[in-house]
């Protein structure tokens, strides 16, 4: 796991550690780690042109001390001061090592630099960058040299990932002590580049994390055992599709079949059932006759260990009856797509003891919790937490970085997302996949997080795979939802072994 802590907790841990260390020792640890990463990024430190963008806070001090270390190794280091204050001890160290403070606006130096260190603001920064910080951030982001952010790119809210205006686009972010949520959550995450964590000794003083991101070994889907049969592996029931949206039926069933379910029981009206039988003959199907009540359908489908309800189902009375019937059981239920629209007007159906997983995008979540979609997109972490508490459910908020929340638990961040998933039907695949993991016995939060991880990884594998033996490898090939289904076995194969510490 990668553990991330919000700013207030990081500050408290830093204060506790500094009370046990000599003055300035913590900043020196950070500067040493920053300088080490920067040195690795340069073809040669000696003679390299390094520019420091320095604000008045501790990150400016970190940048100055790191610049001094590089200057002592022969780099030509210049600092650009933003604002009226500067870390005087750090500036003195830079000058003593042969570095200099520029008297102009730094534009020419930034343009000519081999490496730029962003120390404009720190983890305490919030809101949009003011001048001259905003102009310097734009200059750095457009410059040809490598941009290294100190702790967090300036302009990114370290606790939430919000970007309220101009922000540095870094190639590498060197963060200290622990990850911060804003480094893992878009839009902030997209400004970070590669994130390098430098250990400065905070571990013993940090409380439980606010956000965690999975690594491959943390994804532990249920494994078949020698005594396994299809029922022990998990049977998932799917209520999806209709005469208008038949693809959702096929794709959600495919996600469950390739997601490791021991058996998939699928129920819908006649035409989607016919298509599922043709594409997935291993699925056990039930035709829903017109006018049949949802409770009777659920009973007729047979024994299952979890339900997936909603993809392509429609939003009328018949669909509402099926959503209500699934949620009336004592089994884990995943609700997606049209099922979420039903829940927006029938939130009373969420009053249940069994696990419930909701998988909205921002628009669907806005209807569920009566919030503005733009506000959700701007503050995804806040809203996914709010939704989990308000709806008493596990909420998976889809997006460029998918977030999974349960009340009073660290929010899970999925690191495998890709824009290639922004194509019709991939959400249906995700629903079936998570439903299979639920049926296999995974707790709701683990199933949703693992499903998102495997789903994103499958998309990446599909996008990078050659289409035929004669076709050369092509990066980020366009993919379809069916490609994601077909790549799921390869994604599962990458996630084996014991969980990481």
Question: What is d(CA 127, CA 307) in angstroms, rounded to the nearest whole number?
Answer: 43
User: Is 392 annotated in some ligand binding site?
Assistant: no
Q: Is 125 annotated as a binding residue?
A: yes
Binding site annotation covers 124?
A: yes
For 45, other C-beta atoms within 10 Å of its C-beta total 21
Question: Is 32 part of any known ligand binding site?
Answer: no
How crowded is residue 114: how many other Cβ atoms within 10 Å of its Cβ? Answer: 20
Residue 441 assigned to a binding site = no
Length of the chain: 501
**Which residue stretches of 22-158 are H helix?**
25-41, 58-72, 88-96, 107-112, 133-142
Annotated ligand binding at 400? The verdict is yes
On whether 383 is known to bind a ligand per the annotation, the reply is no
Contact indicator for 39, 50 with CB cutoff of 8 Å: no
Written as six digits, the tokens of 346 are 């029938």
**Pair of tokens at residue 328:** 């009336």
Does residue 301 sit in helix, strand or coil? helix
Q: Is 90 annotated as a binding residue?
A: no
Q: Check the annotation: does 440 bind a ligand.
A: no
319 known member of a binding site: no
Instruction: Report which secondary-structure segment, H or E, holds 368.
Output: helix 362-369
Kindly list the distances between the CA atom of residue 256 and the CA atoms of 298, 395, 440, in Å, as whole numbers in the listed order.
18, 19, 11
Determine if residue 336 is labeled as part of a ligand binding site: no
Query: Per the annotation, does 271 bind a ligand?
Result: no
Determine if residue 456 is labeled as part of a ligand binding site: no
Q: Is 218 annotated as a binding residue?
A: no
Q: Is 427 annotated as a binding residue?
A: yes
Tell me if 154 is assigned to a ligand binding site. yes
Rounded Cα gap, residues 336 and 489, in angstroms: 23
Task: Please indicate if the annotation marks 446 as binding a ligand.
Answer: no
Pairing of strands 403-405, 394-397: antiparallel
128 labelled as ligand-binding?
A: yes
Determine if residue 118 is labeled as part of a ligand binding site: yes
Residue 401, marked binder: yes
**Known binder of ligand: residue 84?**
no
- Per the annotation, does 310 bind a ligand? no
Q: Is 200 annotated as a binding residue?
A: no
Annotated binding site for (6S)-NADPHX: 58-62, 122-128, 151, 248, 312, 361, 428
Annotated binding site for AMP: 398-402, 427
Annotated binding site for K(+): 59, 118, 154
Annotated binding site: 58-62, 118, 122-128, 151, 154, 248, 312, 361, 398-402, 427-428
């Amino acid at each position: 796991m990668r553990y991330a802590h919000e700013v207030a907790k990081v500050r408290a841990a830093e204060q506790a550690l500094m009370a046990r260390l000599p003055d300035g020792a913590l900043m020196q640890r950070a500067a040493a780690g920053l300088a080490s990463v920067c040195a690795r990024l340069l073809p040669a430190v000696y003679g390299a042109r390094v520019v420091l963008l320095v604000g008045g806070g501790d990150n400016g001090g970190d940048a100055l001390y790191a610049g001094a270390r590089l200057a002592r190794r022969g780099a030509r280091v210049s600092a650009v001061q933003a604002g009226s204050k500067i870390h005087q001890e750090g500036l003195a160290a830079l000058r003593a090592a042969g570095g200099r403070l520029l008297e102009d606006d730094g534009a020419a130096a930034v343009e000519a630099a081999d490496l730029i260190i962003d120390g404009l603001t720190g983890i305490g920064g919030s809101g949009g960058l003011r001048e001259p910080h905003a102009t310097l951030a734009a200059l750095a982001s457009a410059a040809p040299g490598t941009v290294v952010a100190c702790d967090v790119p300036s302009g990114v809210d370290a606790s939430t990932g919000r970007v309220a205006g101009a922000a540095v686009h870094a190639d590498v972010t060197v963060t200290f002590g622990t990850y911060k949520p804003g480094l893992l959550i878009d839009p902030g995450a997209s400004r970070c580049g590669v994130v390098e964590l430098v250990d400065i000794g905070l571990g013993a003083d940090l409380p439980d994390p606010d956000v965690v991101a999975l690594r491959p070994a943390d994804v532990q889907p249920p494994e078949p055992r020698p005594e396994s049969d299809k029922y022990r592996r998990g049977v998932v029931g799917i209520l999806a599709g209709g005469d208008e949206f038949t693809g959702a039926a096929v794709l959600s069933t495919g996600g469950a079949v390739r997601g490791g379910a021991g058996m998939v029981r699928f129920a819908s009206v006649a035409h989607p059932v016919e298509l599922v039988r043709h594409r997935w003959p291993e699925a056990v199907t039930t035709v829903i006759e017109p006018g049949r009540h949802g409770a009777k359908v659920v009973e007729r489908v047979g024994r299952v260990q979890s339900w997936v309800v909603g993809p392509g189902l429609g939003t009328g009375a018949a669909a509402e009856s099926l959503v209500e019937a699934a949620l009336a059981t004592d089994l884990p239920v995943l609700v997606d797509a049209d099922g979420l629209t039903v829940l927006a007007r029938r939130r009373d159906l969420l009053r249940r003891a069994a696990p419930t997983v909701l998988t909205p995008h921002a628009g669907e979540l806005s209807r569920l919790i009566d919030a503005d979609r733009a506000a959700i997109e701007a503050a995804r972490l806040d809203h996914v937490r709010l939704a989990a508490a308000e709806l008493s459910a596990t909420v998976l908020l889809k997006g460029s970085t998918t977030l999974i929340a349960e009340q009073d638990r660290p929010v899970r961040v999925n690191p495998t997302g890709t824009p290639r998933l922004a194509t019709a039907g991939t959400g249906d695949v995700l629903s079936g996949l998570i439903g299979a993991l639920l049926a296999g016995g995974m707790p709701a939060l683990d199933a949703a997080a693992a499903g998102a991880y495997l789903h994103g990884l499958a998309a990446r594998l599909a996008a990078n795979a050659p289409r035929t033996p004669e076709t050369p490898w092509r990066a980020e090939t366009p993919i379809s939802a069916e490609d994601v289904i077909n790549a799921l076995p390869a994604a599962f194969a990458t996630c084996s072994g014991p969980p990481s510490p």
